[in-house]
Amino acid sequence: MLTWLAEYQNVFQPLNLFRYITFRTGGATATALFFVFFFGPRIIAALRLKQGKGQPIRDDGPKSHILTKAGTPTMGGLMILSGLVVSTLLWANPRNHFVWIVLFVTIGFGLIGFYDDYLKVTRQTHRGFSGRRRLGFECAIALAACAAMMLFGTPTTTGLSLPAINGYVADLGLFFLVFGPFVIVAAGNAVNLTDGLDGLAIVPVMIAAASFGIIAYLAGNAIFSTYLGINFVPGTGELAVVCGALIGAGLGFLWFNAPPAQIFMGDTGSLALGGLLGTVAVACKHEIVLAIVGGLFVLETLSVIVQVISFKATGKRVFKMAPIHHHFEHLGWSEPQVVVRFWIIAFILAMIGLSTLKLR
């Protein structure tokens, strides 16, 4: 919205700053941060009043969780999403179709997660939204988003680029309507599985958002994309503003989610933020890089898949508990040790993912 101020630069020259994505990205980060800081305590108080007992804690998890986390309200994703959406609408270019597509997926996945959290809290059970119905709604939203990208995008929209290979793009054609939604849905659920300890998911999400903010900016710039040998996707540079808003809202949320957490993100936040990252990756044509930058989320998801397959096939468990962060807790790692070490892994993987921009 504030991009319109640049049209009056002849009246007041400094308004020209609103033309620049980098300036607006910084503004979006600061706005989302202060929004969550200011409204966070009010949202937490309201959720604590409405939810009573808060999020139900798994009985098979570490015993310390039952003692320290019981009664903590969930749906903290509302804090992140409200700050993110307000900041994005304020600082992003409303004429950019990628911004609206990403917001559509983020809000859509957030609503699915909110309903799932609502059922868990009101019923005081871990069983929320029906898995098949939930997955069906997620796929429908992701499919609509990818169809919109094809409708408003360029011929390269349906392409798949490979890291470290300069200029090669495999045209997926209509298969893009299968591959694209798969990436978005997989990203949403991978982040959802990672959200199990105080601060565990939000920092890797912010690291991934920072990485894809850089990628989006470079992919949307004809000069930088040509120099780096990556696909030029007009309009994706504006997604750096969205990523900046996510980082700001995430930092604000982390203030309240730091151990001991005053509020949990819940499916409301984790599903929405994962969907956002997946959509940005698809829009920028860096889907494979997402698997590297978000390698921690991939590891968490694979641990669940391996655990389920192993138990159904042999009756034995590979891990003491899945997702894998609980496995390390059962090995004797303290919660802060697991969280900080996983943050370090997420940072290293992000650096590896960003390095592929130059290895072409």
3-state secondary structure of 159: strand
**Does the reported pTM lie above 0.85?**
yes
Q: Tell me what pLDDT residue 139 has.
A: 97
**H or E segment at 6?**
none
Q: Tell me what pLDDT residue 54 has.
A: 59
3-state secondary structure of 125: coil
Q: Is the pLDDT of residue 61 over 80?
A: no
Residues contacting residue 287 through CB under 8 Å, at least 6 positions apart: 160, 179, 180, 183, 281
For residue 119, what pLDDT band results from cuts at 50, 70 and 90?
confident
Q: Which one-letter DSSP state was computed for residue 161?
A: E
User: How far is residue 193 CA from its own chain's centroid?
Assistant: 12
**Looking at this protein, which amino acid is placed at residue 271?**
L
Q: Tell me what pLDDT residue 160 has.
A: 86
**Looking at this protein, which amino acid is placed at residue 107?**
I
State the average pLDDT over residues 260-282.
94
For residue 68, what pLDDT band results from cuts at 50, 70 and 90?
low
3-state secondary structure of 169: strand
223 versus 16: the higher-pLDDT residue is 223
State the average pLDDT over residues 329-353.
94
Q: Is the pLDDT of residue 226 over 70?
A: yes
Measure the CA–CA gap between 167 and 165, rounded to whole angstroms.
Answer: 6
147 versus 51: the higher-pLDDT residue is 147
Q: Are 254 and 299 in contact (CB under 8 A)?
A: no
Q: Which one-letter DSSP state was computed for residue 237?
A: G
pLDDT, the chain, mean = 89
State the average pLDDT over residues 181-189.
97
Packing angle of the helix pair 295-314, 335-355 (nearest 10 deg): 120
List residues bridging with 161 in a β-sheet: 169
Rg over CA atoms, the chain: 20
Q: Tell me what pLDDT residue 130 has.
A: 76
Measure the CA–CA gap between 73 and 46, rounded to whole angstroms.
Answer: 10
Q: Tell me what pLDDT residue 57 has.
A: 61
Residues contacting residue 256 through CB under 8 Å, at least 6 positions apart: 40, 41, 44, 76, 79, 262, 263
Instruction: Provide the residue count of the chain.
Output: 360
Measure the CA–CA gap between 358 and 102, rounded to whole angstroms.
Answer: 26
With tokens 């798994």, the residue in question is: 58
**88 exposure class (CB count in 10 Å sphere: 0-12, 13-18, 19+):** buried
Q: Is the pLDDT of residue 138 over 80?
A: yes
| pLDDT tens figures, 104-113 | 999 999 999 9
Q: Tell me what pLDDT residue 65 has.
A: 54
| pLDDT tens figures, 276-332 | 999 999 999 999 999 999 999 999 999 999 999 999 989 889 988 989 998 998 898
Cβ atoms < 10 Å from Cβ of 143: 16
- Name the phi and psi angles at 159, rounded to 5: -85, 160
Closest CA to 142 of 176, 187, 182, 107: 182
